Structures are given as C-alpha cells and as structure tokens.
C-alpha cells in the first residue's frame, strides 16, 4: 500500500492530538513528508450525547461506530482510538494493528489536593462507574454527580460549580499540555487500557499492516491486550466497575485488578504474575476473581461461571 494514509479520528481536541501523535510516529518511522498522511476528523454519537452516562445510551460503541463505518466504506485507512474507550469484543473484520508507547496510566483529582481533603459530602463529578466506586470505597460520604464531555468541558463544568471535584486521566491532560492540572492518585488503579493509543484497521491488508506494525510498542501492546483479556473474561458491561493494570517484569506480567459494586462496599482484588506469553492467564484470573466474589458483586458480571 502506498500513502497517503487517511487517519480516522474523533474531532475532540484530545482525539486530534492523539491522531497527530500517530501521524508523527508514522512519518518518523517511514521518513514520510506531511503530505503523505491525512487526518480525517468526524463526530461520533458519543460526542453528541453529553447529557446521560455512556452506559445508559449504548456504551463504548458510541465512540467507535462512525469510525468503524468509515473504515468499512473505504473513507479512511486506519482509526486512532483511546484504547480504554474501545469495546472489548470488536468486529472480526477489524484488528488493532499497533499501539504507541503508553502514557501515564493514573487518574488525577481536580478540585482538591487529596481524597482526604475533599469536604464532607462533597460532590464528585464523574460518569465513570469505576471512578465512582473506587472513590466511594474510600469516601462513602461523597455525592456522585454525573458529568460528561471532553476535558475542557468537564473543567468548565467544575468552574461553574456543577461539582466540587472530578477525576481526569493524567495521559489526556499531559497530551493536551496541562501537566499542572490536578493531583495524581497513585492509590487508584486505572481503567483497563488507560493511557494507551491504538491504531485499528481492516483485517487482511498485509501491506498496510506492515506499515502500521512498524510503530507498535510491544510492551504496551502486551500489557493492554492482557488487561482487555481480563475484561473479556469478567464479562462485564459499561456499568460494571473494573480497574486493571498490567506491567512488564522481564518475561512475566504483573497484573493488578479489582472489581467493585457501584457503591464501593464490595470489592475483589488480585495482584499476581504470570508468563507474558500465556495468553489464557488473564481470562483464568478473571474466573478466579469472580469465583471468590460476593454474590452482590458477582451478579454484575454476566460472563461469570464457576472457576475450575
């Protein structure tokens, strides 16, 4: 395949910044000029619907279906995604061809210097079931209020007093040039695949696959695929609070994960290691977690079956 390569992306400032990162990686790797890559922004359903939590209106597919359609119709050659926003089960005709080096995986608390510093009964603005559950597990007095939109929108809603504090991904803030905003929360596990940028394409295009594979950061891909395999094994949905982080340690992966009830009162956690080449381990670990989980927690995950 010969360039130009058309990159499909959401039109938000963060999505465009990530598409430019992919374009730069491809140009640097293949010594291409700027004219050989075209960025094609588009508006997704998830960008349009801002007044309801994602889980109520269709889940993560609202971020991807317009990009998927552009690939299928030949209007774009690749799509760039924040991997944490990509559904666990993807159409067979699509494949993640590469991931860029992962950025900071942590969340940042905006509006207070620490979780403990939040006022009693403070309003925490988030539409993430994971973030809500993790914060309620530490501060059950918090009032969770829904807040959605891109980074600038959520920061503006905070300034307007719609919430006292919110949580944002450090990776997104850094990519937008705001490393000074918020307090890093080291004690909070991130969403599976948080901080990773993926490049998706139609399966079967070997020439394009070779070009895209050249920018793949293998440690990121291995860790993110393990986290997504765990998520698949859990069988949850957008309402199921899940956190996971895999890290390379030589020829092994360390996987930390937790599943929680929405109010944070029940949780099952694991911190384990397994050979990086063992592609079945994350699903087995998911089964172990669900087998040990309390009934109120287990019922949130439709894919559960007794572990053996």
Residue 85 among the catalytic residues: yes
Q: What is the rounded CA–CA span in Å between residue 87 and residue 237?
A: 9
Conformation bin of residue 58: beta by default, left when phi > 0, alpha when psi is -120 to 50: left
SS3 99: strand
Joined together, the tokens standing for residue 211 give: 């070009």
Residues with Cβ within 8 Å of 2's Cβ and at least 6 positions away in sequence, in order, are none
Q: What is the rounded CA–CA span in Å between residue 289 and residue 308?
A: 12
SS3 86: coil
Nearest-10 Cα torsion for 237, 243, 247, 253: -60
Determine contact, residues 11/42, Cβ cutoff 8 Å.
yes
Determine contact, residues 274/255, Cβ cutoff 8 Å.
yes
What does residue 52 show for φ and ψ, rounded to 5 degrees?
-140, 150
H helical segments located in 257-294: 281-292
Strands of 143-145's sheet, edge to edge?
A: 143-145, 123-125, 165-169, 107-110, 183-185
- What is the 8-class DSSP label of residue 242? E
Q: What is the rounded CA–CA span in Å between residue 229 and residue 285?
A: 10
Among the listed residues 68, 77, 85, 107, the single catalytic one is 85
Residues serving a catalytic function are: 85
């Amino acid at each position: 395949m010969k360039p130009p390569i058309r990159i499909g992306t959401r039109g938000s400032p963060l999505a465009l910044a990530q598409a430019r990162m992919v374009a730069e990686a491809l140009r640097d790797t293949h010594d291409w000029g700027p004219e050989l890559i075209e960025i094609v922004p588009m508006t997704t359903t998830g960008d349009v619907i801002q007044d309801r939590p994602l889980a109520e209106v269709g889940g993560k597919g609202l971020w991807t279906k317009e990009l998927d359609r552009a690939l299928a119709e030949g209007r774009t050659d690749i799509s760039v995604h924040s991997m944490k926003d990509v559904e666990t089960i993807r159409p067979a005709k699509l494949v993640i061809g590469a991931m860029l080096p992962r950025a900071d995986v942590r969340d940042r608390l905006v509006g207070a210097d620490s979780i403990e510093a939040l006022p009693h009964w403070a309003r925490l603005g988030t539409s993430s079931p994971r973030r809500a559950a993790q914060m309620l597990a530490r501060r059950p007095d918090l009032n969770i209020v829904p807040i959605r939109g891109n980074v600038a929108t959520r920061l503006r809603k905070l300034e307007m007093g719609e919430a006292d504090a919110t949580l944002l991904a450090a990776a997104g803030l850094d990519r937008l040039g705001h490393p000074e905003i918020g307090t890093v929360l080291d004690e909070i596990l991130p969403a599976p695949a948080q901080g990773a940028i993926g490049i998706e394409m139609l399966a079967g295009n070997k020439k394009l696959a070779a070009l895209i594979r050249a920018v793949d950061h293998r440690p990121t891909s291995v860790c993110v695929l393990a986290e997504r395999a765990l998520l698949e094994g859990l069988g949850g949905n957008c309402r199921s609070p899940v956190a996971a982080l895999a890290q390379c340690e030589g020829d092994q992966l360390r996987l930390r994960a937790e599943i929680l009830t929405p109010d944070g009162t029940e949780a099952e956690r694991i911190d384990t290691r397994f050979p990086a080449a063992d592609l079945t381990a994350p699903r087995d670990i998911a089964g172990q977690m669900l087998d040990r989980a309390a009934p109120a927690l287990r019922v949130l995950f439709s894919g559960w079956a007794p572990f053996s």
